[in-house]
Amino acid sequence: MELVLENLGFLFTGAYYTLLITIVSMFFGFIIALLVAIARLKGNWLISNAARGYVSIIRGTPIIVQIFIIYYGLPDYGITLGPLTAAYISLSINIGAYLSETFRGAILSVPKGQTEAALSLGLSPWQTMRKIILPQAARVAIPPMGNTFIGMLKETSLVSIVTVTELLRSAQLLIAQYYVAMPFYIAIALMYWIMSMFFSNILDRIEKKLSKAY
């Protein structure tokens, strides 16, 4: 493990990019998911089916293929993206599709009577969604959303194939340099586990607060 300790700073840099990609992708994926879920539930026929098609395509194709399309495919049409930007876009689009189904189910779990009551009190559909439905749906969505978040943290390792120097690629570069694999793989496994536990604890606290609030 001496080599690991000597190169810990390099691995921490890789972990930083892993966290950065995860957080940025989850943020934009969250926005995409919420819009898609509402589009499927409240949109007209065209918008609803477009949202359904997006979810079907993304969930029905491997994420690694999506990364290849964004990074290697788009240059055929004059659109060239940097590795980090391609990682953000591909992972955000992917996570957005999965989270949208979580949000849609959570929204549907709120009794229709509450929507009717809010509308009868004079709230607009948007106010009803924002003040009544979404806060209650959040409580239902947090546990599966947490699992998706942890999954995204681990899936960031896939962007190493487009030369993003996140945690896995950092380890691979060190392995290529020292011709020793096991210590570095054990080290990054521990780092992934620690990050996963950290975010799991945060999400557990959020879930408990929401449970008390509603």
Tokens of 42: 């409240």
d(CA 190, CA 200): 15
The domains found in the chain, sorted by start residue, are: 2-213 (1.10.3720.10)
Q: What is the pLDDT of residues 65-86, one digit of tens each?
A: 999 999 999 999 999 999 999 9
Residue 152, pLDDT above cutoff 90: no
Asked if residue 63 has pLDDT above 60, the reply is yes
pLDDT band with cut points at 50, 70 and 90 for residue 208: confident
Instruction: Report the 3 state secondary structure along 123-137.
Output: CCHHHHHHHHHHHHH
Nearest to 189 by CA among 213, 154, 142, 164: 154
Q: What is the pLDDT of residue 50?
A: 94
Q: Is the pLDDT of residue 211 over 70?
A: no
Find which of 39-53, 73-87, 198-212 is predicted with most confidence, using mean pLDDT.
73-87
Q: What is the mean pLDDT of residues 101-128?
A: 79
- Buried b / exposed e across 165-178, counting CB within 10 Å, b at 16+? bbbbbbbbbbbeee
Q: What pLDDT score does 95 carry?
A: 94
- Whether the predicted pLDDT of 172 surpasses 90: yes
Quote the pLDDT of residue 143. Answer: 78
